[in-house]
Structure 1
């Protein structure tokens, strides 16, 4: 199996932020950034991002000034320091506690929408920043209480960590590693259709979470065998993609298919098939659809076709 390099960066990567993680515990520094008139705030409402230009097909992120951020912060949600963007401080702020945050903002600021639908169309860097804010705020609103003793947690590390004042436990954002793989055998590749796919015609690469004590290569082989009954030999890394929907990182691989007969796990897949390069180049004519363009699954398929 050939090494197939990534043709370009995946969506949600290439963040323009200098995260300055070493300054997050510097209270004076964070206070100065919050007071900076140039500070920008990334609002998140119930896991949706504020954007405009959606109807025109030219979406762009809407970042708030301090005044706009103060209005939505009155809803009482968490906030966190994300870093510097071209020397300007950037914070995430969650406004999920209000039923409709738009009246709190200046008119015609845009709408709160699902980032996944338009991420590939956003200007460079914006999808990464919005995804960063979304993932961190999702973690904050889901971890109000200590997982050790059940008492309420308090923010630390400029909102990037939580601490329990009762038992002293510290909690940090969790990212779950998941392998995603295109299994190749000759001039064909293996794609599956999951019960969970919203598009009834979509076929995509197989994927699954890494288990404790398991290497990434072992996870690739196990998941493919469990879901499709196909044995995988050589495994090659391709690229990775943050996927904060809600809290994963997708680790992309190519796998060498050693067997052909497919035996699906009906709880995981509704169908799985071997697809030829010709079929993949014209999916509509062959009665199926490929994954969305913002996904690493689509990138794995496209880079294999181009190799």
Structure 2
């Protein structure tokens, strides 16, 4: 079941680039687009930023900036040495903005280039600490650049024959160097994340898996959607596996791209609210640290505290009411908004309004 999306726009979901512009299948397209490009350097899971007047912004390198950094544009690649294949870096097209073509340039492992960039006064920062520093559209574009670069980096060889692969169509895919029909496409892993409403509608099920490092957090249950599985089926399976709880109705509220997923993956968090078909919990304590029902009045207090900029997860020193022993994720996570949306309803159960 799906309802009108009551969730606010999520972090990483405000990308203003036109991704449809240009014919990536045209071999000459990249060369033309690279005549006046703007490039965002990526190093591992970090993007290049500059600090000015206590503000942080993405650093978009122009051709003149490239020249100052000892780099040049040679046909469809960027290199520190003309004609040197070993020094060449393939740019990955992100999209068009105000007539300018924007690319990601993955300099991971190119130590000399990284040193020059940093010596020029720029820095590399990972996306998580930038969540409260960058404008929403820049954070989304930075996430796209990191996700695409990491995908290319992790798919160096053809999974069908083992031959090296190379980027084609401005980085929109990779092709096998032995058989061009063997192609791989940028991957997004779908994850179902769900708030479970109790049978009486007055409590929500929250938990914390053993993989969550912050032991003061309780959040929505979640899990990867398996092949051949619907979103609703994934919700029911994951809740049964993690909490030992059967679920009936499932409502899809919205989604959030998450380019900082596990192991460098890019995930799509699909946010749901589901109705419990029982009350007694039988959690898998090999996977979970904590699973419990939380009354709505308590959740409202935690939502308020966790919405503040002094949230400990963001490096702050905020405090909870003495009778409450957990936080929920801060507002950059879709889990926060699922919990907040549910808690913000009237005293009637969520499913009473459907």
Do these two structures clear the TM 0.5 threshold for a shared fold by scoring above it? Answer: yes
1:27 to partner: Cα distance:
2.8
Between the aligned partners of 2:203 and 2:53, the Cα distance in structure 1 is 38
Are 2:40 and 2:59, in contact at CA under 8 Å, matched by a contact in 1? Answer: yes
Q: Residue 240 of structure 1 corresponds to which residue in structure 2? A: 255
The Cα RMSD (Å) is 2.4
The equivalent position to 1:178 in structure 2, one of 191, 198, 207, is 191
Task: For residue 233 of structure 1, give the secondary structure of its aligned residue in structure 2.
Answer: strand
Between the aligned partners of 1:272 and 1:255, the Cα distance in structure 2 is 16
Deviations 1:116-138 (A, max 9, x none): 23324421311110011011000
Task: For residue 41 of structure 1, give the secondary structure of its aligned residue in structure 2.
Answer: strand
Task: For residue 264 of structure 1, give the secondary structure of its aligned residue in structure 2.
Answer: coil
1:259 to partner: Cα distance:
1.4
102 and 154 in structure 1: CA distance in 2 versus 1, 3 angstrom threshold = closer
87 and 180 in structure 1: CA distance in 2 versus 1, 3 angstrom threshold = same
Pair 1:293-2:290 in alignment: no
Task: For residue 27 of structure 1, give the secondary structure of its aligned residue in structure 2.
Answer: coil
Between the aligned partners of 1:254 and 1:69, the Cα distance in structure 2 is 48
Pair 1:192-2:189 in alignment: no
Between the aligned partners of 1:2 and 1:276, the Cα distance in structure 2 is 25
Are 1:77 and 1:96, in contact at CA under 8 Å, matched by a contact in 2? Answer: no
Structure 1 residues not aligned, in runs of 5+: none
Pair 1:81-2:93 in alignment: yes
Deviations 1:4-47 (A, max 9, x none): 743421111121111126511223332121111xx211111011
TM-score, normalised with respect to structure 2? 0.79
Aligned residues: 304
Larger radius of gyration between Structure 1 and Structure 2: 2
TM-score, normalised with respect to structure 1? 0.91
Matches within 5 A, 1:120-269: 120-168=132-180, 169-185=182-198, 186-245=201-260, 246-269=265-288
Structure 2 residues not aligned, in runs of 5+: 72-77, 81-86, 303-319, 346-354
